[in-house]
């Protein structure tokens, strides 16, 4: 090195911006800040490329709940001035972060909301969404795949109906179409152009990334505004210092997900179908005599004592959801947990409310709090041995607890 060139000593004097020099504020214009900003934008480009979107259409959030709130409230507050009473269309099986926002707007008389019911198989009819549209409809929000029963909604068809409706009205920007794709990203196509969504939200935790980060895709020129106030980060839609570390990890997780998606979907589909078949077998075994199995659409539904919830084909490859009448979910989950098996009854966000799942009630009006619904969601580490062990454990549990079980005689 020439004597005339001296190594520059770096002194960090921006602790008010970020107390961690190795993770500087990406909004700072000094060297370390610029490096963090570059990392953030590189992660944004990766995500945009996978979604077939523009980089400036990707908004980093703290997760899907924030993304859903930003999508609904951000759109609603930005267009409400043009309507006496704006109208929102959604379904009756959405995640709480969509339903609770809609209920709040409805309760406070800021908007009217139509909750389109799904069919008994857990899938909404696009024609019913179309029928619900009105001149004052500003937003349609339908999840890509349900988080409890795994049913896949016809997003492309719904988007097509909305586009057709927009062409036949004066304000062609409305209604806007939002989809919560949180459960779908692992297994389904997420090309936003092909899907036809204007807004799409998901988080990192569901794709094996860190908790506390997600994204909201906002199609260019979609009339959405901020719902929090402060700085101008995230193109003015999401104030607050960006978490570069989490954004980078989200991008990495999404890359891995896309790389293994096709192979993992095939593997898990086989495992899921094997699991369902095995569950039906134990309910027909000598350990639990005089038991009938079925699905909600069966003619002999009233006699069924093991119900497979949701459409058996149009569902996520990792989802198995069953109902066992007269067998409390909490009891089953605890019994499974003592055997080292972790399952759930419904969304973790609502697991402590003591009520029957609103999704199960939506597809089965006869569902009672005493009916035990179990959600088994398979993942990258799940093996056939895991399924066999679970089926055996559940058989033992049901035999042990059969005093609660009152099957209808055949």
| Within-domain flag for 135 | no
Q: What is the dihedral of CA 207, 235, 224, 215, to 10 degrees?
A: 0
Three-state DSSP string of 232-263: CCHHHCCCCCCCHHHHHHHHHHHHHHHHHHHH
Where residue 282 sits, what CATH number does that domain have?
Answer: 3.90.1150.10
Query: Taking 80 as the threshold, does the pLDDT of residue 406 lie above it?
Result: no
Query: Taking 60 as the threshold, does the pLDDT of residue 408 lie above it?
Result: no
| Within-domain flag for 298 | yes
| Within-domain flag for 67 | no
Segment 157-181 mean pLDDT: 91
Q: Which residue has the higher pLDDT, 23 or 195?
A: 195
- Write down the pLDDT at residue 300: 41
- Write down the pLDDT at residue 409: 43
| Within-domain flag for 409 | no
Domain total of the chain? 1
The residues pairing with 113 across neighbouring beta strands, listed in sequence order, are 88
Query: Residue 317: left (phi > 0), alpha (psi -120 to 50), or beta?
Result: alpha
pLDDT digits (tens, 9 = 90+) for 105-117: 999 999 999 999 9
- Report, in angstroms and rounded to the nearest whole number, the Rg of the chain calculated over CA atoms: 24
Give the residue numbers spanning the domain of 395: 261-404
| Within-domain flag for 272 | yes
| Within-domain flag for 182 | no
| Within-domain flag for 253 | no
H or E, element range at 166: helix 155-167
pLDDT digits (tens, 9 = 90+) for 190-236: 999 999 999 999 999 999 999 999 999 999 999 999 988 998 998 88
Average pLDDT across the chain, whole number: 88
pLDDT category, 260, cuts 50, 70, 90?
A: very high
In contact, 249 and 200? CB cutoff 8 Å: no
pLDDT digits (tens, 9 = 90+) for 278-317: 998 877 653 443 334 444 444 443 344 678 899 999 999 9
pLDDT category, 277, cuts 50, 70, 90?
A: very high
- Write down the pLDDT at residue 296: 46
Q: List the one residue out of 251, 207, 237 whose CA is nearest residue 51.
A: 251
Q: Which residue has the higher pLDDT, 332 or 300?
A: 332
Residues with catalytic roles: 349
| Within-domain flag for 137 | no
Rounded Cα–Cα distance for residues 211 and 183 (Å): 14
């Amino acid at each position: 090195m020439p004597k005339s060139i001296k190594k520059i000593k770096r002194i960090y004097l921006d602790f008010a911006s970020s107390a961690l020099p190795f993770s500087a504020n990406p909004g700072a214009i000094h060297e370390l800040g610029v490096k963090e900003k570059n990392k953030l934008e590189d992660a944004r480009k990766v995500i945009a490329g996978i979604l077939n979107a523009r980089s400036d259409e990707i908004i980093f959030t703290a997760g899907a709940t924030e993304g859903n709130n930003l999508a609904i409230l951000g759109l609603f507050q930005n267009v409400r001035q043009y309507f006496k009473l704006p109208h929102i269309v959604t379904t009756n099986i959405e995640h709480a972060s969509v339903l609770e926002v809609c209920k709040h707007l409805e309760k406070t008389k800021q908007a009217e909301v139509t909750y389109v019911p799904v069919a008994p198989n857990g899938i909404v009819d696009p024609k019913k969404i179309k029928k619900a549209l009105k001149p004052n409809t500003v937003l349609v929000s339908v999840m890509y795949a349900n988080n409890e029963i795994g049913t896949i909604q016809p997003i492309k068809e719904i988007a097509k109906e909305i586009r057709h409706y927009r062409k036949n009205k004066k304000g062609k920007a409305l209604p806007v179409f939002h989809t919560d794709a949180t459960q779908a990203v692992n297994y389904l196509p997420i090309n936003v152009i092909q899907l036809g969504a204007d807004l799409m939200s998901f988080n990192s935790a569901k794709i094996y990334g860190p908790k506390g980060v997600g994204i909201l895709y906002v199609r260019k020129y979609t009339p959405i505004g901020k719902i929090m106030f402060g700085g101008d980060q995230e193109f003015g839609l999401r104030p607050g210092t960006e978490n570069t570390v989490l954004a980078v990890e989200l991008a990495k997780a999404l890359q891995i997900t896309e790389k293994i998606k096709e192979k993992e979907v095939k593997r898990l589909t086989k495992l899921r179908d094997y699991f369902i078949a095995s569950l039906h077998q134990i309910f027909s075994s000598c350990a639990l005599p005089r038991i009938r199995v079925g699905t909600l659409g069966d003619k002999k539904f009233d006699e069924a004592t093991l119900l497979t919830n949701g459409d058996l084909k149009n569902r996520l490859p990792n989802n198995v959801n069953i109902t066992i009448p007269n067998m409390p979910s909490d009891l089953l989950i605890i019994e499974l947990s003592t055997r080292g098996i972790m399952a759930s009854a419904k969304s973790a966000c609502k697991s402590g409310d003591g009520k029957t799942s609103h999704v199960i009630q939506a597809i089965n009006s006869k569902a009672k709090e005493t009916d035990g619904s179990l959600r088994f969601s398979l993942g990258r580490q799940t093996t056939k041995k895991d399924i066999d062990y679970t089926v055996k454990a559940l058989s033992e549990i049901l035999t042990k607890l059969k005093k609660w079980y009152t099957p209808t005689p055949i």
